Chains A and B, each alone.
Chain A
Amino acid sequence: MRTGTFLIAAALVGLAIVVLTRIFFTNEYFFFAAYVVLQYIVLSTAWNILGGYTGYINFGTGAFFAIGAYSSAVLHKLPALLKTFDILIPAVPLPVMIVVGGIVSGIVGLGTGYLTLRLRGVFFSIATLALAVVVQTLITNWDFVGGARGAYVLRPRVAPLIGGEYVQYLFLLMLGMCVIVLATARAIERSALGYGFAAIRDDEAAAEASGVPTLRLKLIATTLSGGFMGMAGAPLPYYVTYLDPTSGFSLNYAVNAIAMPLIGGTGSWLGPVVGAVLVGGLQEYLRVTISSAVNVLVAGVLMVAFVIAAPQGIVGLFQRKR
């Protein structure tokens, strides 16, 4: 399937999901749960662009995600701030926030990559852990976005464009992002870029020696991956309506973003989707039936089990049988 065809097909599937959900689910809870699963599809696909394709593990998903969320919080407060200087601007629409969040996170990804990617891969991973704490400290000390206390972000009562509950609008936006991220990931896989990434993953020194511009490719991967994570985080303030550093930087995002691709399979775009739907769905189920502490444990335990017993993930299991 060509990328264009795939994009159309994915968009059609997305549209079908929207139509079906609007017919069958009048219960608002469904949208809250589905939003989380979609968010994890975006996050784990974004993680996989760097982690699965080039083999560089990013532990700082929470940082990129929170940068997206906090850039939305800043944009949300911006009109009120400018008003005190007699500059009137309209409220910033959410899609613009998503784009801005993506750009800011992408730049941070580029910077982190630039600082550390000339070293061995494990140093990049440790640096991303460090990045998460640095960014969290900066935001905890930044009063404009609420500091350690956090900030309330009131969402409009009615969704723009489609009407109805606001969470349905968030769900739609996240679904749109899923389509874009999946189409990008799939396009990368089949392009020269993807082969370059795979060459880096398999043997970086050999790739460099054969003329693959490894540093540039790795920087493209960190930027894309960071940018998509930021996009996934941008609607968060409107979803939770109360944003504080502990929830924005929760380790759960980092763990899930790594666990889901590893469980689903890191080799192709389908793996993170399978992982996110299965693990995300299971977590939402356990959150309701048992407790929220158990639901995060599941991802960790499954991840450890899969890297030991089935390093190719679920998708890999099926491919081997064929």
Chain B
Amino acid sequence: MLIAITKRHGHLAAFYSFLAAAALFCAGAAQAGGADQQAAREQHTETPAAASVVVTDDVGRQVEVPQPVRRIVSLAPSVTETIFALGAQDRLVGDTDYCDYPAEAKLKPKVGGAINPNLEQVVALRPDLVVVTKSLNRRETVDALDRLHVPTYATDARTVEEMIESIGRLATVIDAADQGKAQVTSLQTRLDELHRKLEGVTPARVLFVVWTEPLISVGTETFLADALRLAGADSVIHSQQDWPHVSLEEVVRLQPDYLIFANSDTDHALEDFAALRQQPGWRDLKAVQENRLAIISDAINRPAPRLVDAIEQLARQLHSDIFAPQPGPASRTLKLQAVAAR
């Protein structure tokens, strides 16, 4: 009789059996997922007696951090650098493909990029804590880690001041409070020293060149702009966007005193610049004609302790009259003259 029914209502039967199969499948999948999420939760709370502390991270999330923190995964190069600076690198079990400083960071197990880390790898490393940054990592990654019950701590810094505080807080969270305090003190002292030296000095008008084609600079709300200010520089570009596209004409009109390039490879940067000064628009800039450029390490891009090094480096180049001459910058000045001579 079933066959007779299906023969007459063939289509309907096909449709409904398809529906039934689909429903069964969805139910099965949901069951599997749900059952194991529940089991995961049970497992999680079963982990006996492991104490955990609830902390508030830089973006205001409440994070339950298991104690002690033995395994850390970093999802941003700045975080990796900070962890190394805090002396906690032995507990760093994984970082991103782009974590390249210090050199040992490259040897750590990789979990993919910062934007799209491979969640499977992260989970397989069984971290006690994953550290991310608000500026580089995606909200979706954090949400996904939350759903997987992996404790995730987010750092954020809009200014250099905030960055230093953030380092201190992170140090406390990962049981490196002493080193944290030491770092904070050291960085703060150097910045205070710099501030003292630059007291009363007119800030140099600069253009920070992120990219040349198209021309991209930095906005006023970034911590990079803040770093520039601390180095006695003032970006001529005032924009609310983080990475504004700027027209070359506008720059020519503004005529900044200095061009700043961030590139750890100084020779490469000098070669690029040599090519640049022939180009229309660029050659009309007085800063180009008079070779007033500053090349600093790309640590200026990362909210990590090395940022302060870069700030000092920049200050020395912009206001060389105030600072005692040092081997590094002097040789750079010699190279610049060599470039000009070509």
Tell whether A and B belong to one assembly.
no
A interface list, Cβ under 8 A from B = none
B interface list, Cβ under 8 A from A = none
